[in-house]
Amino acid sequence: MEREIREFLAANYFLGEDPSALDGSSSLIEAGLIDSTGVLELVGFLEERFDIRITNEELLPENLDSIDNIVAFVERKQAGGGAG
Amino acid sequence: MATDSTITADVLAIDPARVAAEIEEALRTIISRQLHRKGGVVAVSGGIDSSVTAALTARGLGAERTIALLLPEADSDPETLEISRLAADAFGIETVVEDISPILEATGCYARRDAAVREVVPEFGEGWRFKIVLPSVVATEGYRLFSLVVQSPEGETRETRLPPEQYRMIVAATNFKQRTRKMLEYFHADRLNYAVVGTPNRLEYDQGFFVKLGDGAADVKPIAHLYKSQVYQLAEHVGVPERIRQRPPTTDTYSLSQSQEEFYFSLPHQGMDLCLYARNHGLPAEAVAGAVGLTPAQVTRVFEDIDQKRRTTRYLHLGPQLVEPVAELAD
């Protein structure tokens, strides 16, 4: 799962960079990547690829602002957990 | 919590006579000496910014060297044309009306956009109206996603989250409107050897609330340094008709009426102006919270939104990037 998320981010926001080399803890917001359109893209990808439904209440930095947070969030969602 | 640096709306008070005179002088200098044009074309929408810009252009260059372009299309508010004429007439400016609907039909603006809306709401069709909205920054702690609001001919309203592909298609198709308008502005500017005078205020310019090569394009932007509240002060000074000054700002872009804060800005313009002023002057959230009626935590979210919009819309301000500079053309 982490590999696919990294590949999505690399393909959409870090063109030409090695997906495995992206820093897992860096803020995507501070990098200027996640604006309202970027969140739409990211949420659309996560919902479709991992067959989860993300509610508006779950659109929080602790769930979506870094690769590590995204991976942990999707794992919780797939395990049937809450917003985190 | 009050602090020594607490501000009120007074910080945005200007001497409108002095500011108007400065802008008029700058317009004369820029258009004549820098751009070597002999007049100005202003697209007038019936809003406060374009009305003030048209007035300043006419005052600076002469009404006989200014034309007001009125560029309605199928989704324009029915009042737009009448109100735009009101503004132009107040300053003795010649108007040229170009209904851009046929051009937009030819580019597929409406058809592409409506097809994308139908992918989200299959019943959408004749007699339906829609707009795109974002939740309030102030009321939302996390990220915000665009939603589609549709209204059936019977008046029933429904809101649905927009998938990215359909969101991009709707925005891309709708951007034909601003780009078509700019194309016609430059047609008339070329025909008359005039400059295109853009109408953004400081909020729009700073926060990237424009379409690149659409309403973002111009030869000169005479009010881009002024907060919206200051534009209103100028409007009163130069005699923009009361009806225009009392009208709430809208985007006049979608078939359902959409306020600017529903789609882009965090707050109505008075609050947005003060938050931007505070951010620009390095003031803490507490300094402006009282004046805008928010908690410091909410103001902090507005500050973060200001910073983020600056980052993510920076590319809108950039010209084409070169791999190597062409030294001969450097200033």
How many alpha carbons lie under 13 Å from residue B60 in its C-beta half-sphere? 28
Q: Are the Cβ atoms of B146 and A58 closer than 8 angstroms? A: no
Sequence-distant (6+) residues with CB within 8 A of A33 are A13
- Are B89 and B199 found together in one domain? yes
- Are B90 and B142 found together in one domain? no
Is residue B4 assigned to a domain?
Answer: no
Contacts of B135 in chain A (CB under 8 A): 56
Sequence-distant (6+) residues with CB within 8 A of B125 are B114, B118
Q: What is the pLDDT of residue B113?
A: 96
- Are B91 and B113 found together in one domain? no
- Are B126 and B274 found together in one domain? no
- Are B75 and B90 found together in one domain? yes
Contacts of B141 in chain A (CB under 8 A): 60
- Are B119 and B252 found together in one domain? no
Is residue B185 assigned to a domain?
Answer: yes
Is residue B179 assigned to a domain?
Answer: yes
Q: For B271-299, how does the pLDDT look when each residue is reduced to its tens digit (9 = 90+)?
A: 999 999 999 999 999 999 999 999 999 99
- Nearest Cα to Cα of residue B103 among B71, B69, B77, B128: B71
Report the distance separating Cα B49 and Cα B260, nearest Å.
13
Is residue B293 assigned to a domain?
Answer: yes
Q: Tokens in use for A42?
A: 């990211």
Domain that holds residue B142: 106-168
Total domains, chain B = 2
**pTM, full prediction:** 0.90
Q: What is the pLDDT of residue B204?
A: 95
Q: For A21-35, how does the pLDDT look when each residue is reduced to its tens digit (9 = 90+)?
A: 778 888 887 766 667
Report the distance separating Cα B306 and Cα A35, nearest Å.
11
Is residue B77 assigned to a domain?
Answer: yes
Best to test chain A binding among B133, B143, B145, B167 (most A CBs inside 10 Å): B143
State how far Cα B76 lies from the chain centre: 15
Q: Which residue has the higher pLDDT, B180 or A9?
A: B180
Sheet holding B147-151, edge to edge: B129-133, B147-151, B157-161
- Are B201 and B257 found together in one domain? yes
Q: Are the Cβ atoms of A29 and B309 closer than 8 angstroms? A: no
Q: What is the pLDDT of residue B95?
A: 98
Q: What is the pLDDT of residue A84?
A: 46
Percent of chain A whose predicted confidence (pLDDT) is above 70 = 89
Q: Tokens in use for A9?
A: 């981010």
DSSP state of B171: H
Q: Are the Cβ atoms of A36 and B134 closer than 8 angstroms? A: yes
- Are B140 and B210 found together in one domain? no
Task: Confirm whether the ipTM is greater than 0.85.
Answer: no
- Are B208 and B267 found together in one domain? yes
Q: Which residue has the higher pLDDT, A15 or A42?
A: A42
CB contacts < 8 A, A to B, total: 51
Q: For B151-188, how does the pLDDT look when each residue is reduced to its tens digit (9 = 90+)?
A: 999 999 999 999 989 999 999 999 999 999 999 999 99
- Are B196 and B276 found together in one domain? yes
Give the domain CATH number at B177.
Answer: 3.40.50.620
In this complex, which of B135, B146, B312 lies closest to A40 when CB atoms are compared? Answer: B146
Q: What is the pLDDT of residue B4?
A: 64
Q: Are the Cβ atoms of B164 and A40 closer than 8 angstroms? A: yes
Is residue B323 assigned to a domain?
Answer: no
Q: What is the pLDDT of residue B243?
A: 94
Is residue B288 assigned to a domain?
Answer: yes
- Are B124 and B212 found together in one domain? no
Is residue B42 assigned to a domain?
Answer: yes
Q: What is the pLDDT of residue A34?
A: 67
Q: What is the pLDDT of residue B65?
A: 98
Which structural domains are found in chain A, ordered by start?
2-78 (1.10.1200.10)
Gap from B110 CA to chain A (nearest CA, Å): 22
Which long-range CB contacts under 8 A does A22-29 form with residues at least 24 apart?
A: A22/A67, A23/A67, A24/A66, A24/A67, A24/A68, A24/A71, A25/A66, A25/A67, A25/A68, A26/A66, A26/A67, A27/A61, A27/A65, A27/A66, A28/A64, A28/A65, A28/A66, A29/A61, A29/A65, A29/B308
Residues of chain B where predicted confidence (pLDDT) is lower than 50: 1-3
Q: What is the pLDDT of residue B172?
A: 97
- Are B71 and B215 found together in one domain? yes
Mean confidence (pLDDT) of chain B: 93
